[in-house]
Amino acid sequence: MIDSTRSGDPRLIQTFAIRLGSTPESKDVGLAAGALWVGISATLEPIFGAGGVSALFARSVFLTAKLFPTLEAVPDVMNLSNQLDAFRSFLSTLDGAGAAEVAQALMREFHGVLISMVGTALANQLLEPILDQALSEKRPLNALR
């Protein structure tokens, strides 16, 4: 797994890691990433609009692809639902650890982009309810099998 303190919001990455558990499978990573992005979208759409949230995701994918060039396979479409489907499909081609690494890097880049737009305090305030909800589901996804 990636060092969660290197950059981005440590709580965002830690929440994601808790939801994955210690040995995630790529489908678990896709489910966890999808759930977080759905929450992010629901929170940010009233502020940025659906197209704005989709653009945030696309920009995050673009920046993450600099570290993981195979991520360029995720199409740049202006519809978050289609983007998430493509991202989950991409993650399913990786092993669990690789999928977790890419998804965590994407979360870090997203947090950085959001901070550049609204500042650290507001970015963290906007993400707080999403993280609280994700953490309220205490069991890792792989413990649900």
- Tell me, what's the pLDDT at 45? 94
- Tell me, what's the pLDDT at 112? 92
The model's pLDDT over 6-29, given as tens digits with 9 standing for 90+, comes to 355 677 777 777 777 667 788 888
Average pLDDT, the chain: 80
* CA neighbor of 144 nearest in space, from 8, 21, 26: 21
pTM above 0.85, yes or no: no
Cα–Cα distances (Å) from 51 to 79, 87, 97, 102, in that order, read 7, 17, 31, 23
Is the pLDDT assigned to residue 143 strictly greater than 50? no
The model's pLDDT over 113-132, given as tens digits with 9 standing for 90+, comes to 999 999 999 998 998 888 77
Mean pLDDT of 34-57: 90
pLDDT higher for 76 or 33?
A: 33
Percentage of residues in the chain having pLDDT higher than 70: 82
Sign, CA dihedral 88-115-124-18, equals positive
Token couple for 45: 């759409």
Measured CA to CA, the distance from residue 130 to residue 37 in angstroms comes to 9
Is the pLDDT assigned to residue 31 strictly greater than 80? yes
Mean pLDDT of 84-111: 89
- Tell me, what's the pLDDT at 3? 37
- Tell me, what's the pLDDT at 77? 67
